[in-house]
């Protein structure tokens, strides 16, 4: 069971439906063995994306997506934590900087579960591509 909040939808007129967002998030989280949690999607404009990128990524430009993981506590073991409702984090998306909002949501969700395309030699992008194949 996932609780999903979507904020700033007015900034993303072509955004997928809540049902499509839920399906994408469930698939992305399931790929990491997570079956429950809360996640918030925030659509922001380029100015806000630029502020966040500068503060958290050290980049002087807006970006398509920034993920903020919250609960990384796996002390109970994967078989227990998979079904525990927990705060997974926030995904901040700048619609002006992305051509595919659903794929950007999947990308952000994979970051929330600890994947990082900067260090995993393409594994994250391969998983993302496979998940998008299931969603299309």
Task: Assign 3-class secondary structure to 50-85.
Answer: HHHHHHHHCCCCCCCEEEEECCCCCCCCHHHHCCCC
Distance CA 69, CA 87 (A): 8
Domains, the chain, in order of start with CATH, read 2-135 (3.40.390.30)
Q: Render pLDDT for 24-79 as a digit per residue (tens, 0 to 9).
A: 999 999 999 999 999 999 999 999 999 999 999 999 999 999 999 986 555 545 55
Instruction: Find the range with the poorest average confidence among 18-22, 43-47, 67-71, 88-92.
Output: 67-71
pLDDT for position 74: 52
Distance CA 97, CA 39 (A): 21
Say whether pLDDT at 115 is over 90.
Answer: yes
Instruction: Name the token pair of 17.
Output: 């439906």
For the chain, report the end-to-end CA distance as a whole number of angstroms: 22
Mean pLDDT of 105-118: 93
pLDDT for position 76: 47
């Amino acid at each position: 069971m996932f609780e999903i909040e979507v904020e700033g939808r007015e900034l993303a007129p072509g955004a997928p439906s809540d049902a499509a967002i839920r399906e994408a998030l469930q698939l992305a989280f399931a790929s990491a063995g997570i079956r429950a949690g809360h996640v918030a999607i925030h659509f922001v404009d380029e100015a806000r994306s630029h502020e966040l990128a500068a503060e958290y990524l050290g980049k002087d430009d807006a970006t398509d997506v920034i993920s903020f993981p919250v609960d990384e506590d796996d002390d109970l073991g994967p078989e227990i934590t998979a079904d525990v409702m927990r705060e997974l984090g926030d995904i901040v998306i700048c619609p002006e900087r992305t051509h595919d909002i659903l794929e950007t949501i999947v990308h952000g969700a994979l970051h929330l579960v600890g994947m990082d395309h900067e260090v995993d030699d393409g594994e994250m992008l391969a998983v993302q591509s496979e998940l998008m194949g299931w969603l299309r």
